[in-house]
A and B are shown apart, each in its own frame.
Chain A
Amino acid sequence: MSTTGRIVTVYGNMVTAEFEGSVRQNAVAYCQRSDGVRLMSEIIRIRKNRADMQVFELTRGLKIGDAVEITDELLSVELGPGLIGMIYDGLQNPLPEMAEKVGKFLEPGHYLKALDRAQQWEFTPVASVGDTVSAAENLGKVKEKIFDHYIMAPFTLSGEWKVKKVASAGKYKVEDEIAVLEKDGETISVNMIQRWPVRMPLGIYNERLLPTEPMVTKQRIIDTFFPVMLGGTYCIPGPFGAGKTVLQQITSRHAEIDLVIVAACGERAGEVVETLREFPHLKDPRTGKTLIERTIIICNTSSMPVAARESSVYTAATLGEYYRQVGLNVLLLADSTSRWAQALREMSGRLEEIPGEEAFPAYLESSIARFYERGGIVELKDGRKASLTVGGTVSPAGGNFEEPVTQGTLKVVGAFLGLSYARSYARRFPAIDPLESWSKYTGTIPGEKVAWAHNFLRRGKSIFEMMQVVGEEGTSIDDFIVYLKSEFLDNVYLQQNSFDEVDAACPTDRQEYLFDMVCNILKHDFALTDKTQARNMFFTLTEQVRNWNYAPWQTDRMKEAEAEIKSSLNSKEAAHA
């Protein structure tokens, strides 16, 4: 059911069309340029017989009176086996195929199928004839990369249906019929493809659970001090140059998670290219396969059309929710939500809505909240647990966290990993500010132990500030040692060298071991009386623990490094008072 309209206004990427009959809010429409090119758009406001649409392409060349084909379908994505390892734009067009078909430039008006129609999948039925199924219950499975990809009853199904026919084990393409379902004499044919509107959360499960299991990122400062949970949410705000994207990349490499969806939203193309060119060659230590085999990239970089940027985060979220339905633990990394918010602002400006703070629309906060709320850990209909964890970066103007996007985000996330320019400037990576950041979750290391260690950082900072005023001479040796201890904790535990093969990823057992070792040093009652001596002592300890960090787990090298640390602690200078 589609209607035709006629263009009456063109202004930037907003086009208004006059129509007759009925149209649906957020339905897809195509603006027909006089040379025949069809530009995909989405209806975002309807006033009487006029529909305002955001166009996902350059609107150059559109004229008043040009035809608009208004469909009845909401902006949707295609779901099914074959999504993993793909690189899509914000509207789910596969970019490498696009390059083959259209050339180097993203010429407007070309849309490709998201799933490969020719690929054969090895199908194993799970349901049998006569079973009763409801929406999202498993009918069968195929092997996608290393995962069992369950083929489910259509998400839009209402009520209980009887399985009338199910395909026998064998090879099928995504469009082949794999089951027939029946209810009250009505039958439907099911294949492996499902479609789902991106702006609607996709969640068909028994219940949503409280996130209780940590998502291990192998970054000590995150896992120990500011943990993130499977099915939780977190944000990474920071000024430019503080290392947001680097942190996202490290997480996408090392996090213990089944599938990572990278939504490059309005950021540099170069960063996507890095992921794109390197992930096929980098090994995933968990599976031995390459990283690209557990990654989906949704990429709408800063120079690609703005409206598609706005929808790209929803596309990414929907794919994430889909694989959660399949039964995986999924991590969605959105870089950067500020660019997405700016896209909202641009559109809101064109719609001449009354602006809120910094000209962002009044619904900014609720939009941010809705996006993060799509994350969560759930118990699926077959009893398995699956999760979608959402992490977003925020790029606040001028590095000022008081701005609307950062503030709107802080209200709805479970963890805040604030990056600081000062730490990045001092080359203290990851540049997460340990005094400003927080997490509402608990990690593997007990909270009181973490709080005890964290207190050193706080005390160390106030002593350091005091020292700026009264000088080292005016500081007591006890305070000075506390300061050195806080620096030591920062240097050997909070900071991690992402270029070192071993130190780049610190697994949980190693973290727990190191944390105890560091705490013992923090507890150690040093008999130091001279400040230079104290400084040298900690300089040595820092160097030795760093060497320990670089030594592979449970090797002789690690044991040697540990012995050196012990001998420093037992030396005459360090002896107990």
Chain B
Amino acid sequence: MRKYYTRIDNIAGNVATLKATDVAYEELAVVEGSWGKSLAQVIRISDDNVALQVFAGTRGLSTGDKVSFLGSSMRFSFSDDLFGRIFSGGGEPRDGRSELTDNMIQVGGPSVNPAVRLMPHRMIPTNIPMIDVFNTLVEGQKLPIFSIPGEPYNELLARIALQAEADVIVFGGMGLKYDEYLFFKNQLEEGGAMARTIMFVHTASDPVVECLQTPDLALTVAEQFAVQGKRVLVLLTDMTNFANALKEISITMEQIPSNRGYPGDLYSQLASRYEKAVVFEEGGSITLMAVTTMPGDDVTHPVPDNTGYITEGQFYLKNGVIDPFGSLSRLKQQVNAKTRDDHRAIMDGCIQLYSTCRETREKRAMGFEMSEWDQKLLKYGDSFEKEIMSFSANTSLFDALNQCWEILAAHFEPRETGIRASLCDQFWPKK
């Protein structure tokens, strides 16, 4: 027999408080009123006072609305029927198809025992040269894309989704503009990837609380597939919106903020999501890529700063390209020795030359005279940017390496590149 409560005492922000008994921490409840129905979660119980975080928000909520408790925490159906489906941040179907109810699993479970983890050791080809050649993505890695609003970070994410080798793609969108959501949906459908994709989308107009649930739903589903031995790629955008939702709730709950209004547990909150990235001994894995927009391009802002301490490197998306200097894949050393003999040499050589080219550009801007060597560098820099740095390229690793050699050969003599002579002998394009 379900018990109904019909008296809400306090309503503030997205939190409603009422008197109830026999309620468990983090249990789900349903709030029903003339405006409709919403799920809610218990976020504090104190004596018989229960604080509920109302998923749909508290706009229009009446103190006389009906509340009932469901006897369990957030659950979600897990089966192969998930493929191709789109859900909201609250777990409701967004694609107009039926709700799934089989095999309900708990959302947001305990973390993986470090003793059963493996070191990430397999490369994930993305066919984007700036990633594959220079900052290789590794299976089981967690990498954020640091960017600023206005940059094409969602285009990059969509491209990775389409081109990266993965058995399952789980997409989590937080605070997306509606057209961004449609963009992802269309991209995945047109690219033929929808059949191996599951989407959880919270748009900017949806209730804030659902934004908090989105990564948990996505990662819970991903974790189940990984346990089955699948190689899962999780794409999240935008984690800054998630952090802002955390901020909103914690301020409502009158928690003391630590830095720029963010709660003191921001690091732990972000870490418990990012740390879902894993490689299991049996072969399953979760690789996690998440967009983090930096307000004001400030990397010391609490969200990117805390993220940087958690993740294994970062991609900087700046001026429409993946910046080769600020970007770093900390795990690339685990894989790039095993791909091809020239991989590391090209990685270092091309970037060193490009870095000198940037210095030369500065010199040119200051009005210095350009030597013959400077001219070479400038031309090299232009073609490197055009052919390699653009992420619209869809080139396999080996082709990209060959292309790098072509560009080097077009502008330099072998000894000018600083690449070991034995490698130049082997790979330098024959005219």
Select which of A59, A105, A306 is within 8 A of B109 by beta carbon.
A105
Shortest A513–chain B CB gap in Å is: 31
- Whether the pair A61, B24 counts as a contact (CB closer than 8 A) is yes
B-contact bits for A257-296, CB 8 A (1 contact / 0 none): 0000000001011101110110000000000000000000
**Residues on the B chain within 8 Å of A105, using CB:** 109-113
Nearest CB to that of B314 among chain A residues? A241
Q: How far is the CA of A96 from the CA of B281 in the complex (A)?
A: 13
- Whether the pair B44, A306 counts as a contact (CB closer than 8 A) is no
Nearest CB to that of B141 among chain A residues? A270
Interface residues of A in 42-63 (CB under 8 A from B): 58-63
Interface residues of B in 79-120 (CB under 8 A from A): 109-120
- Whether the pair B115, A95 counts as a contact (CB closer than 8 A) is yes
Asked if B424 is at the interface of the complex by the 8 Å CB criterion, the answer is no
Interface residues of A in 346-360 (CB under 8 A from B): 346, 349, 352, 355, 358-360
Q: How far is the CA of A12 from the CA of B271 in the complex (A)?
A: 16
**Residues on the A chain within 8 Å of B328, using CB:** 241
**Residues on the A chain within 8 Å of B47, using CB:** 8-9, 64
- Whether the pair B280, A339 counts as a contact (CB closer than 8 A) is no
**Residues on the A chain within 8 Å of B46, using CB:** 8-11, 16
Q: Is the interface of A mostly helix, strand, loop or mixed?
A: mixed
Nearest CB to that of A297 among chain B residues? B114
Beyond A269-B112, A359-B258, whether A399 also contacts B300 by CB under 8 A is: yes
Shortest A99–chain B CB gap in Å is: 5
Task: Please indicate which of the listed interface residues B119, B268, B280 has the most CB atoms of chain A within 10 Å of its own CB.
Answer: B268
**Residues on the A chain within 8 Å of B227, using CB:** 104
Select which of A12, A95, A349, A397 is within 8 A of B114 by beta carbon.
A95
**Residues on the A chain within 8 Å of B271, using CB:** 266, 302-303
Q: How far is the CA of A270 from the CA of B46 in the complex (A)?
A: 38
Asked if B45 is at the interface of the complex by the 8 Å CB criterion, the answer is yes
Nearest CB to that of A106 among chain B residues? B110
Q: How far is the CA of A342 from the CA of B305 in the complex (A)?
A: 14
Select which of A102, A103, A268 is within 8 A of B310 by beta carbon.
A268
Asked if A301 is at the interface of the complex by the 8 Å CB criterion, the answer is yes
Asked if B309 is at the interface of the complex by the 8 Å CB criterion, the answer is yes
**Residues on the B chain within 8 Å of A355, using CB:** 256
Q: How far is the CA of A346 from the CA of B306 in the complex (A)?
A: 15
- Whether the pair B258, A358 counts as a contact (CB closer than 8 A) is yes
- Whether the pair A346, B114 counts as a contact (CB closer than 8 A) is no
A-contact bits for B129-165, CB 8 A (1 contact / 0 none): 0000000000000000000000000000000000000
- Whether the pair A98, B115 counts as a contact (CB closer than 8 A) is yes
Q: How far is the CA of A479 from the CA of B126 in the complex (A)?
A: 50
Q: How far is the CA of A276 from the CA of B115 in the complex (A)?
A: 8
- Whether the pair B268, A346 counts as a contact (CB closer than 8 A) is yes
Asked if A197 is at the interface of the complex by the 8 Å CB criterion, the answer is no
Task: Please indicate which of the listed interface residues B73, B115, B259 has the most CB atoms of chain A within 10 Å of its own CB.
Answer: B115
**Residues on the B chain within 8 Å of A489, using CB:** none
Shortest A355–chain B CB gap in Å is: 5
**Residues on the A chain within 8 Å of B305, using CB:** 240, 397-398
Q: How far is the CA of A80 from the CA of B112 in the complex (A)?
A: 28
Q: How far is the CA of A269 from the CA of B331 in the complex (A)?
A: 13
Beyond A272-B114, A276-B114, whether A64 also contacts B23 by CB under 8 A is: yes
Total A-B Cβ pairs within 8 A: 162
Beyond A95-B115, A345-B258, whether A59 also contacts B300 by CB under 8 A is: no
Q: How far is the CA of A58 from the CA of B264 in the complex (A)?
A: 18
User: How many B residues are at the interface, by size bracket?
Assistant: 35 or more
- Whether the pair A10, B25 counts as a contact (CB closer than 8 A) is yes
Nearest CB to that of A102 among chain B residues? B113
Beyond A64-B21, A301-B275, whether A342 also contacts B264 by CB under 8 A is: yes
Shortest A49–chain B CB gap in Å is: 13
**Residues on the A chain within 8 Å of B387, using CB:** none
**Residues on the A chain within 8 Å of B310, using CB:** 268, 302
Beyond A60-B26, A104-B280, A277-B118, whether A302 also contacts B267 by CB under 8 A is: yes
Shortest B241–chain A CB gap in Å is: 21
Asked if A114 is at the interface of the complex by the 8 Å CB criterion, the answer is no
B-contact bits for A1-29, CB 8 A (1 contact / 0 none): 00000001111100010000000000000
- Whether the pair A342, B267 counts as a contact (CB closer than 8 A) is yes
Select which of B48, B73, B263, B331 is within 8 A of A60 by beta carbon.
B73
Beyond A95-B113, A98-B113, A302-B272, whether A395 also contacts B309 by CB under 8 A is: yes
Asked if B308 is at the interface of the complex by the 8 Å CB criterion, the answer is yes
Beyond A64-B21, A241-B308, whether A301 also contacts B111 by CB under 8 A is: yes
**Residues on the A chain within 8 Å of B429, using CB:** none
Beyond A269-B117, A303-B111, A397-B305, whether A10 also contacts B258 by CB under 8 A is: no
- Whether the pair A107, B267 counts as a contact (CB closer than 8 A) is no
- Whether the pair A104, B26 counts as a contact (CB closer than 8 A) is no
Q: How far is the CA of A395 from the CA of B114 in the complex (A)?
A: 22
Q: How far is the CA of A418 from the CA of B156 in the complex (A)?
A: 36
Shortest B393–chain A CB gap in Å is: 27
Asked if B257 is at the interface of the complex by the 8 Å CB criterion, the answer is yes
**Residues on the B chain within 8 Å of A65, using CB:** 22
B-contact bits for A299-337, CB 8 A (1 contact / 0 none): 101111010000000000000000000000000000000
Asked if B392 is at the interface of the complex by the 8 Å CB criterion, the answer is no
- Whether the pair B24, A397 counts as a contact (CB closer than 8 A) is no
Interface residues of B in 37-51 (CB under 8 A from A): 43-48
**Residues on the A chain within 8 Å of B118, using CB:** 273, 277
**Residues on the B chain within 8 Å of A303, using CB:** 111, 268, 271-272, 274-276
**Residues on the B chain within 8 Å of A9, using CB:** 44-47
Nearest CB to that of B43 among chain A residues? A11
**Residues on the A chain within 8 Å of B308, using CB:** 240-241
**Residues on the A chain within 8 Å of B272, using CB:** 302-303
- Whether the pair B110, A58 counts as a contact (CB closer than 8 A) is yes
- Whether the pair A302, B275 counts as a contact (CB closer than 8 A) is yes
Asked if B255 is at the interface of the complex by the 8 Å CB criterion, the answer is yes
Shortest A424–chain B CB gap in Å is: 10
Select which of A63, A103, A104, A398 is within 8 A of B25 by beta carbon.
A63
Beyond A107-B110, A355-B256, whether A306 also contacts B25 by CB under 8 A is: no
Asked if B265 is at the interface of the complex by the 8 Å CB criterion, the answer is yes
Asked if A108 is at the interface of the complex by the 8 Å CB criterion, the answer is yes
**Residues on the B chain within 8 Å of A106, using CB:** 110-113
Asked if A364 is at the interface of the complex by the 8 Å CB criterion, the answer is no
Select which of A12, A99, A108, A274 is within 8 A of B113 by beta carbon.
A99
Nearest CB to that of B325 among chain A residues? A425
CB-defined A-B contacts under 8 Å, sample of 26: A8-B46, A9-B45, A9-B47, A10-B44, A11-B46, A16-B46, A62-B24, A64-B22, A95-B114, A104-B112, A104-B113, A106-B113, A240-B308, A266-B267, A268-B310, A270-B120, A270-B312, A299-B114, A302-B267, A302-B310, A303-B271, A346-B268, A360-B258, A397-B259, A397-B300, A397-B306
Q: List residues of A whose CB falls within 8 A of some B CB.
A: 8-12, 16, 34, 58-65, 87, 95-96, 98-99, 102-108, 240-241, 266, 268-270, 272-274, 276-277, 299, 301-304, 306, 339, 342-343, 345-346, 349, 352, 355, 358-360, 395, 397-400
Q: List residues of B whose CB falls within 8 A of some A CB.
A: 21-27, 43-48, 73, 109-120, 227, 255-259, 263-265, 267-268, 271-272, 274-276, 278, 280, 299-300, 302, 305-306, 308-310, 312-313, 328, 331
Can you name 19 extra interface pairs (CB under 8 A) apart from A105-B112, A108-B110, A270-B120?
A10-B44, A34-B24, A60-B26, A64-B48, A95-B115, A104-B280, A105-B110, A241-B328, A268-B275, A268-B312, A269-B112, A269-B117, A299-B114, A301-B114, A302-B310, A303-B111, A304-B111, A397-B306, A399-B300
